[in-house]
Amino acid sequence: MNHDIVTTTDNIVILVGINFGKKDKESLAELKELALSDRLSVATIVEGTRRQPDPATFIGKGKLEEVRQLLVQTQATTVIFNHELSPIQQRNLSLKLDCRVIDRTSLILDIFAQRAKSHEGKLQVELAQLEYLATRLVRGWTHLERQKGGIGLRGPGETQLETDRRLLAKRVELLKEKLAKLGRQRNVQRRARKRSEMMSVAIVGYTNAGKSTLFNRLVRSDTYVANKLFATLDTTTRRLFLPERGLIVISDTVGFIRDLPHTLVASFRATLEETVYADLLLHVVDASSPNREEQINEVNKLLKEIGADSITQILILNKIDRIEEERSASYIRDEYGKIIKIRLSARTGIGLDYLYRALMEAFDHNKNKLGQHAVTSVNMNDSIRSTVINNEED
Ligand SMILES: Nc1nc2c(ncn2[C@@H]2O[C@H](COP(=O)(O)OP(=O)(O)OP(=O)(O)O)[C@@H](O)[C@H]2O)c(=O)[nH]1
Ligand SMILES: [Mg+2]
pLDDT at res. 350:
96
Residue pLDDT, tens place only, 234-249: 778 888 888 888 889 8
pLDDT at res. 208:
93
Q: Which residue has the higher pLDDT, 227 or 95?
A: 95
| Mean pLDDT of all residues in 129-139 | 79
318 CB near ligand 1 (under 6 Å)? yes
Residue pLDDT, tens place only, 25-75: 778 888 999 999 888 999 999 999 999 999 999 999 999 999 999 999 999
Mean pLDDT of the chain: 82
Model confidence at 363, pLDDT cuts 50, 70, 90, reads very high
Task: Give 35's contacts (C-beta < 8 A, 6+ positions apart).
Answer: 13, 15, 42, 80, 107
Are 82 and 54 a contacting pair, CB within 8 Å?
Answer: no
Model confidence at 270, pLDDT cuts 50, 70, 90, reads low
pLDDT at res. 222:
64
| Highest-scoring range by mean pLDDT, 99-103, 110-114, 226-230, 255-259 | 99-103
pLDDT at res. 374:
40
pLDDT at res. 155:
57
| Highest-scoring range by mean pLDDT, 179-188, 204-213, 233-242, 255-264 | 204-213
Task: Give 194's contacts (C-beta < 8 A, 6+ positions apart).
Answer: none
Stretch among 80-89, 132-141, 276-285, 353-362 having the lowest mean pLDDT: 132-141
Domains and CATH numbers, the chain: 12-102 (3.40.50.11060), 196-376 (3.40.50.300)
Ligand nearest to the CA of 284: 1
Residue pLDDT, tens place only, 165-196: 888 899 999 999 998 898 888 778 777 766 66
226 CB near ligand 1 (under 6 Å)? yes
pLDDT at res. 157:
64
pTM exceeding the 0.90 threshold for the entire prediction = no
Ligand nearest to the CA of 346: 1
Beta strand 280-286 pairing with 246-252? unpaired
Residue pLDDT, tens place only, 272-296: 777 778 999 999 999 999 999 999 9
Q: Transcribe 135-204 into DSSP letters.
A: HH--TT--HHHHHH--TTTSPTT--HHHHHHHHHHHHHHHHHHHHHHHHHHHHHHHHHHHHTT-EEEEEE
pLDDT at res. 384:
33
The whole-angstrom separation of Cα 341 and Cα 282 is 10
| Mean pLDDT of all residues in 210-239 | 80
235 CB near ligand 1 (under 6 Å)? no
92 CB near ligand 1 (under 6 Å)? no
Ligand nearest to the CA of 214: 1
Distance 149 CA to ligand 2 centre (A): 39
User: Looking at the predicted structure, is the pLDDT value of residue 23 above 70?
Assistant: no
The whole-angstrom separation of Cα 107 and Cα 112 is 9
Model confidence at 158, pLDDT cuts 50, 70, 90, reads low
Q: Which of 208, 272, 322 to mutate to test the pocket of ligand 1 (most atoms within 8 A of CB)?
A: 208
